[in-house]
Structures are given as structure tokens and as C-alpha cells.
Amino acid sequence: MSELYIPVPTRIILPNTKANFVTYLKQDDTYVLYSISGEQFSPEHQLRLELQDITTLYVSREEEEELNAYVERHIARVLADSSIPIHARAEAWTRSASSVGRDLFEKKLPPSMLKKHYDRFEKFITESASIFKSPEGLRELSKLIADGYDIYHHGLGTTVLTASVLLSFEGGEDLLAECGAGAMLHDYGKLKLDPELLKMDPTLMKYGEKQKWDTHPILGVQACAGIPLPPEGIHCVLFHHEREDGKGFPGRLKGEDMPFYARIVSLCDHYDRLTRKQHYRSAYTPFEALKAIRDDKGLYNRDAFMRLVNVLSDANIADL
């Protein structure tokens, strides 16, 4: 029966807010009604729960979307509340981020709806800056977003890494919304490709297959025309397979021809892709992924690479 309910730390339900879902208390193996949908949570609610040593409420899985929407609305307050354990804040963030990100990847969205979902994601990423700056937060997020090889799973992983590295630059916060969303959408063009092609190892594709696969950055920019993406977002989508040595695609840009934030997305895309299980191979460990990137001398910008290493090292995710 427990799989029918989602455990939620009591602190996630913030005072002076309304939740459009029912919450329950667990007594032995029974779930007992605590609050009704639309009820205003007050400081007295929180105090009463604390006095009874109750740290967890439960929400029916049937109302998971409402729970995700609630966290999305209040994400800045949730992440800023140090009384909520960091792993609980990371879980709440991941659940809501997955929901917002998945909505972006719904097929055949009309332009107006795609624009609405894009604006939601930009706002959500901007309000999430505090967890990207936190090594402990990044460590917890990395555990939660590591699984899955769908395009939006990889997009979410690339977004988290991009945001964490970007915020290590002075002024990086000013680019967080556009580049975070661009990182999320960097593989959007793959939705236009044959799903069977996406299961293949790009290094083993035949010439015609590789030609089709190489079009996905351009297809991504075209598919996002209805948003429309800001220039920084376009750069992130279009340039994420370029290389420092000019041997990437689609533009064969070299070094300084590519904006620094697009280099960050390219690097984080590569790292996340290596550490994520694929149809054709198992996942690399963080150490193996960083070593593979380091050994490919023409792939990366050294400053961006060292910042990624430092971010992962500070979070105790990888050591090189």
C-alpha cells in the first residue's frame, strides 16, 4: 500500500500557502486524513506537527502532479529553507524539474503551449540557483538524475551541470535562465529523427545514418522557432557538438568562435552522455568520463573543463 503514497517532509508544505492536494498521516499501516485539498497551511500546523514529532506527511500518487506544481510554485522558498534536509530539497526539486522538463518534450505541442512550458522552465531554473551553487545540493541531485536515457533525462542532467559550472563564472547568474533552458533543449532536434537511429552508437553509424544524426542541432533550432529561443539558447542548441579544434558540427567552429557558455553546454552534454547508460553501452563512472574527455585534447576548452572538475570535486562526485 505504501507505493500508493509519496512521503513528503512536513517542512516542504510551507506556512501561509495553499496546497491543492490531500495530505495524510501514517499510523501503523493506516493512512489517516490530515488536511483537505485547498486548505491553508499555517504556522500552527507546522508547530503542531513538530510537537508531535511528525516529520513526514503523505500524498496520494494520484495527486503527484498537484504536488509537483506546488513545489514548482514555491521552489525558491523550499530550496532556501535550511531546516529541510538537503536530500529532501533535492528530491522535491528533481520531482518538479522532471515534470516541467517532460512537458517541454511533449510531441506536437502548438507554439503557444511550447512557449508557455519554456517560460515555466526558465523561471524554475532561475529560482533554483541556490541548489546549483551548493556542493551538497549538487551531490544529492546527481544521485537522483543519473538514471534514464530519454532525451529529457539527459537534458535535465546537462542543465544541472551547466548551471553549476556557469555559476562559477562572475556574472554567470545573468545567463542562467537562457543557458539552463538551452541546455535542457540542446537535443530537442532528436525528436525529429528515427527513434531506432537514436539507439545506435554514433561512432559505428554508416555514412548516411551519421549524416542524418548530425542534423539534430539544426533541427533543434528549427523546432524551437515557436518559442522563440533567445540568442544564448540558440547557441546552446546549435553549438553543442562543436569542438575546440574545429572538427565538430554543424559549423566546424573553432575555439573563440564559440561563446563560452555554449562551450560549457557542449562539455556538460558530453560528460552527462558518457555517465548515462545508453542502449549500446553501460554508463561510465565520473572518473572514466572525465579521463575520456581530458584525453581527447581537441574536444574541450581547458578553463571550462577545470571548472567542471572543480565543481564535481567539491561535491565529492569525482576525483581526477
Tens digits of residue pLDDT in 26-78: 998 899 999 999 999 888 888 899 899 999 999 999 999 999 999 999 999 99
The Cα–Cα gap between 289 and 267 comes to 11
Phi, psi (5° rounding) for residue 32?
A: -110, 135
Q: What pTM was computed for the model?
A: 0.93
Cβ distance 93 to 132 under 8 Å?
no
pLDDT recorded at residue 168: 95
* Model pLDDT, residue 7: 94
**Low-confidence spans in the chain with pLDDT less than 50:** 320
Q: What is the pLDDT of residue 319?
A: 56
For residue 147, the 8-state DSSP code is S
Residue range 284-307, pLDDT digits in tens: 999 999 999 999 989 999 999 999
Partnered with residue 8 across adjacent β-strands are 57
> Using the 8-state DSSP alphabet, how is residue 281 labeled?
B
What confidence score (pLDDT) does residue 1 get?
54
Separation between Cα atoms, residue 13 and residue 60, nearest integer Å: 15
- CATH value of 74-314 in 1.10.3210.10, 1.10.3720.10, 3.50.50.60, 1.10.3860.10: 1.10.3210.10
Q: What are the residue ranges spanned by the domains of the chain?
A: 1-63, 74-314
Give Cα 205 distance to the centre of its chain.
Answer: 29
